[in-house]
Amino acid sequence: MTLKAKIGLVAAGMLLASTALASAQEKVKIGVSIPAATHGFMGGLNWHAQEAEKRLEAAHPNVDLIVVTASDPSDQASDLEDLVSVQQINALVVLPFESEPLTEPVKQVKATGAFITVVDRGLSEPGIEDVYVAGNNTEMGKISAEYMKSRLKEGDNIVILRGIPTVLDTERFDAFMAEIDGSGINVLDNKFANWNRDDGFEVMQDFLQRFPDIDGVWAQDDDITLGVVEAVKQAERQDQMFVVGGAGMKEIVKGVMDGDPLVPVDVLYPPAQIATAMDLTVAHFTSNGPVRGRYILGAPLITKENAAQFYFPDSPF
């Protein structure tokens, strides 16, 4: 082979290598659409999303994470349109504000060829997402009911404060009711409290006015729990009942650590799950390992004995 031919081959090889490197370094755009920090859990989730964004972009210079927050379902649907039309995302990590209104918008993002990761609140139509990440809602309901059964006897009365109409709320509620069925414990009523402290306060006030005999409250969520506790204390009925919440809010966990009889336990449902979802989505583009599937995190019972390992005083939630 002549020297000229060899130089030509080397040059061609360098061009191919340069093209491959440029291709490898092309930005991967990942949209992250989550509800705004309207209450404690979402405040924690927003914080974990921002921390994950900084960590992942520092580790992967070719990854661009675009975090947007929405104040309601229509706002979130509009955000998804912008992420596709303006940002031209390759993937979407989405925690739906509500399941039903966001199913079609997410489906439209999927139709563009984007990789879809759904977090926490499932969509109302199965099979749209490539990855699903959530706390264990079924276990959360079951563990809460098991604790109720351990503390109460046949004929005792409880009330239930639910979240908002989503797949995960249904999973929690159905699992709780299935476990409590046959125990003889009476469920006086259940109402949605929108995972909100003020709504929890108002719903619990209504329950306290209507039911003179309440032995236990399943608040399902720690933001709701704060409102419930306030209502119970205002009514001076804290010696008559106990409250079981959920998520692992630091104020609630501290109360469990200190032996608060009104809130003796909590059930974990970590807001850091958004970081797990972002890690997995980035891994789809940066690793050669498969990531598609369902990732369901545990929901352990937080008691006075183990609360210290779940207490993070520097966390926003």
Instruction: Please indicate, yes or no, whether residues 276 and 239 belong to a single structural domain of this protein.
Output: no
Distances (CA, A) of 70 to 50, 98, 116: 15, 11, 18
- Partners of residue 34 on adjacent β-strands: 69
Average pLDDT over residues 76-98: 97
**Could you tell me if 65 and 50 are in contact, meaning their C-beta atoms sit under 8 angstroms apart?**
no
Could you give the residue ranges of the DSSP H alpha helices within 36-136? Answer: 40-59, 73-85, 99-110
Which residue, of 223, 250, 267, is where some domain finishes?
267
Q: Distance (Å, rounded) from C-alpha 291 to C-alpha 282?
A: 10
Residue 11 banded pLDDT, cuts 50, 70, 90: very low
Instruction: Please indicate, yes or no, whether residues 142 and 90 belong to a single structural domain of this protein.
Output: no
In a domain, 118, yes or no: yes
CA 19 to chain centre: 40
Share of the chain above pLDDT 70, in %: 92
Q: Specify the 3-state DSSP secondary structure of 288.
A: coil
In a domain, 310, yes or no: no
Kindly report which listed range (44-48, 81-85, 105-109, 181-185) carries the lowest average pLDDT score: 44-48
Q: What is the largest CA-CA distance in the chain?
A: 99
**Would you state the pLDDT for residue 26?**
84
Instruction: Please indicate, yes or no, whether residues 261 and 278 belong to a single structural domain of this protein.
Output: no
Tell me: the pLDDT tens digits for 24-43?
A: 458 999 999 999 987 788 88
One-letter identity of residue 10: V
- List the one residue out of 274, 275, 269, 247 whose CA is nearest residue 96: 274
Look up the CATH number of the domain holding residue 290: 3.40.50.2300
Instruction: Please indicate, yes or no, whether residues 149 and 245 belong to a single structural domain of this protein.
Output: yes
In a domain, 1, yes or no: no
Instruction: Please indicate, yes or no, whether residues 106 and 131 belong to a single structural domain of this protein.
Output: yes
Q: Which domain holds residue 108?
A: 28-135+271-297
Kindly report which listed range (10-14, 44-48, 291-295) carries the lowest average pLDDT score: 10-14
**Would you state the pLDDT for residue 283?**
97
Instruction: Please indicate, yes or no, whether residues 279 and 231 belong to a single structural domain of this protein.
Output: no
Instruction: Please indicate, yes or no, whether residues 146 and 250 belong to a single structural domain of this protein.
Output: yes
Tell me: the pLDDT tens digits for 224-255?
A: 999 999 999 999 999 999 999 999 999 999 99
Instruction: Please indicate, yes or no, whether residues 256 and 156 belong to a single structural domain of this protein.
Output: yes
Residue 209 banded pLDDT, cuts 50, 70, 90: very high
User: At which residue do the structure tokens 């929901």 appear?
Assistant: 299
Residue 9 banded pLDDT, cuts 50, 70, 90: very low
Provide the strand spans (E) within 108-211. 115-119, 131-135, 157-162, 186-192
10 Å CB burial of residue 150 (0-12, 13-18, 19+) is exposed
Q: Distance (Å, rounded) from C-alpha 225 to C-alpha 293?
A: 32
**Would you state the pLDDT for residue 25?**
55
Instruction: Please indicate, yes or no, whether residues 85 and 147 belong to a single structural domain of this protein.
Output: no
In a domain, 241, yes or no: yes
**Would you state the pLDDT for residue 128?**
97
Q: Is residue 312 scored above 90 in pLDDT?
A: no
- Partners of residue 187 on adjacent β-strands: 158
Q: Distance (Å, rounded) from C-alpha 228 to C-alpha 200?
A: 6
Tell me: the pLDDT tens digits for 113-166?
A: 999 999 988 899 999 999 999 999 999 999 999 999 999 999 999 999 999 888
Strand 293-297 vs strand 91-94: parallel, antiparallel, or unpaired?
A: unpaired
Instruction: Please indicate, yes or no, whether residues 110 and 185 belong to a single structural domain of this protein.
Output: no
Average pLDDT over residues 205-233: 97
Q: Distance (Å, rounded) from C-alpha 74 to C-alpha 105?
A: 10
DSSP state of 111: T
Distances (CA, A) of 234 to 199, 201, 206, 237: 15, 10, 13, 8
Distances (CA, A) of 113 to 108, 200, 274: 9, 41, 22
Structural domains of the chain, count: 2
In a domain, 260, yes or no: yes
Q: What are the backbone dihedrals phi and psi of residue 91, each rounded to the nearest 5 degrees, phi first? A: -155, 160
One-letter identity of residue 202: E
Residue 13 banded pLDDT, cuts 50, 70, 90: very low
Strand 301-302 vs strand 91-94: parallel, antiparallel, or unpaired?
A: unpaired
Instruction: Please indicate, yes or no, whether residues 112 and 187 belong to a single structural domain of this protein.
Output: no
The pLDDT mean for the chain works out to 91
Instruction: Please indicate, yes or no, whether residues 280 and 131 belong to a single structural domain of this protein.
Output: yes
Q: Is residue 317 scored above 60 in pLDDT?
A: yes
Q: Distance (Å, rounded) from C-alpha 124 to C-alpha 41?
A: 22
In a domain, 311, yes or no: no
Average pLDDT over residues 31-58: 92
Strand 266-267 vs strand 301-302: parallel, antiparallel, or unpaired?
A: antiparallel
